[in-house]
Chain A
């Protein structure tokens, strides 16, 4: 099984499309961070303007942590697109290329091939999120240094410098968990379409529809909202609160895990019964 996974990872990382997401991140993150660094404290002023009459902010709240936090906020809806671009190709790409006819006639079970491909998808997702984390935090700290983190989400919260690093670490773990769900949904779509675009459109379609339901203040959707995975896409951001509501995070993580499990289970059911006509 390990050799199958190794080969699937190899296949994934020898494809040019795999590096498109890394390339985009490598381009956009430095661009945003350098631009933010040049704009400097305008961001902080804009956030604290209404409170400046009553409070006195000491020290520099514009620092590397703040930039890295803004990067997480601004990119987190775009990352799923880049994940599905590669993961959606895992199964559908074989159908498109006609290579199912080579791999599925071997004396190895379809289940093993399926799970090797899923494992390769998760490895890609992990590396992608880790790359984003290292680049955005590392470059931000290099450019703007450390300091207290100003968090604005309905209310303003200032987290002490010494209290921030672990939160980023945990936030990225939950971000990875969220992206695992996105990857699983993309993998599900990949199991029954025969082109690489379908899983991307399918995954983003589901995210957009569920996000609209999540964000629209319509009473009819109230009962539905807590059960949609998009309600937990920003699970990571709940770590930047004081106190951290671990119970809500746990619930969100369980929902995301449930979506991942269901997506992969259905995909597996489809894949092992699929007639290869391509």
Chain B
């Protein structure tokens, strides 16, 4: 059985005065996905998300949410969708609770019990009566996610939710996203240029560059397109080179500053190499497999990153 498509864009485009910010974009997000939406800064991610959340009118193309066209059935289309667009801005002079109550009214009326549940979920219990202007950036981001969850949407769209957060804040938001996807069965569209974060949580993804779709599909399948190699930090360098030649391993590059080799082998083959290096009394400091989404992402965008 085909999975249900909760978000579909068809030939979506947005033209500003002298340029296309997004063009001919066809996305498909399935129910249950954690869908990574990647692209370098200025690639068109936020413009796309703003169009999906009806903040921006597309110049061309269509958006369907849960089968409802956004252009003609906006209320139904957005009934099960919510999101956080860029940084979380609130009415700073109001408390978090009051902010959520006001936004709850706009979402069709959310009772106090549900609001409290969401506050607990994002870890803001005890601070809900404080004015938002006293909140740290991380707390505002969590409150931003809270407002997105108010109406218990099926699709949650998060636009760069980890921007500007410290490592602890990033971990908290990441854990929350994983919890929402795994335990609460939410479909999540997550845009970010923190590619390692996407790699940690997404099962499907799309890469956008210069407003156009560069790739879309299962994360694992897309990764197969990326080259696999290993970074080796070991010395002395001459001895390492000699062993690599004996084993017929090609050196992609060597960084004299760090003493790091980049080798054309699969990670599975490193055990044999490491053993040979140790036998030859070479000091092995690090063996790091490189097959990351970031490499794939960079390979796609290296000529186009803006």
Please tell me if the beta carbons of A14 and B94 are within 8 angstroms of each other in the complex: yes
Question: In B97-154, which residues have CB < 8 Å from any A CB?
Answer: 98, 101-103, 105-109, 147
Chain B residues near A109 (CB-CB < 8 A): 74-75
User: B7 at interface (Cβ–Cβ under 8 A)?
Assistant: no
Please tell me if the beta carbons of B86 and A101 are within 8 angstroms of each other in the complex: yes
Question: In B46-69, which residues have CB < 8 Å from any A CB?
Answer: 50, 53-57
Other-chain residue from B55, B86, B147 in contact with A104 (beta carbon distance below 8 A): B55
User: Which of A4-12, A63-71, A148-156, A167-175 faces chain B?
Assistant: A4-12
Please tell me if the beta carbons of B103 and A98 are within 8 angstroms of each other in the complex: no
Question: In B69-110, which residues have CB < 8 Å from any A CB?
Answer: 74-79, 82-83, 85-87, 89-94, 98, 101-103, 105-109
15 example contacts (A-B, Cβ-Cβ < 8 A) are as follows A4-B105, A7-B102, A11-B91, A14-B94, A97-B90, A98-B87, A102-B89, A103-B106, A104-B55, A105-B53, A105-B55, A106-B106, A107-B107, A108-B107, A275-B56
User: A27 at interface (Cβ–Cβ under 8 A)?
Assistant: no
Q: How far is the CA of A108 from the CA of B76 in the complex (A)?
A: 10
For this complex, into which size category does the number of interface residues on chain A fall? Answer: 20 to 34
Question: In A19-42, which residues have CB < 8 Å from any B CB?
Answer: none
- What is B's interface to A at a CB cutoff of 8 Å? 50, 53-57, 74-79, 82-83, 85-87, 89-94, 98, 101-103, 105-109, 147
Q: How far is the CA of A4 from the CA of B108 in the complex (A)?
A: 10
Counting from the closest, the 5 A-B pairs by CB-CB distance are A98-B89, A276-B55, A106-B106, A107-B78, A105-B53
Please tell me if the beta carbons of B55 and A275 are within 8 angstroms of each other in the complex: yes
- What is A's interface to B at a CB cutoff of 8 Å? 3-4, 7, 10-11, 14-16, 97-109, 113, 273, 275-277
Q: Measured between C-beta atoms, what is the minimum distance from B71 to chain A in Å?
A: 13
How many cross-chain pairs have Cβ atoms below 8 Å apart between A and B?
A: 75
Please tell me if the beta carbons of A3 and B57 are within 8 angstroms of each other in the complex: no
Q: How far is the CA of A106 from the CA of B102 in the complex (A)?
A: 11
Q: How far is the CA of A14 from the CA of B99 in the complex (A)?
A: 12
Q: How far is the CA of A263 from the CA of B222 in the complex (A)?
A: 53
Please tell me if the beta carbons of B79 and A107 are within 8 angstroms of each other in the complex: yes
Other-chain residue from B50, B55, B75, B147 in contact with A108 (beta carbon distance below 8 A): B75
Q: How far is the CA of A275 from the CA of B57 in the complex (A)?
A: 6
Chain A residues near B75 (CB-CB < 8 A): 107-109
Please tell me if the beta carbons of A105 and B82 are within 8 angstroms of each other in the complex: yes
Chain B residues near A3 (CB-CB < 8 A): 105, 109
Q: How far is the CA of A10 from the CA of B89 in the complex (A)?
A: 18
Q: How far is the CA of A177 from the CA of B83 in the complex (A)?
A: 41
Chain B residues near A15 (CB-CB < 8 A): 93
User: What residue of chain B has the Cβ atom nearest to residue A97's Cβ?
Assistant: B89
Chain B residues near A103 (CB-CB < 8 A): 103, 106
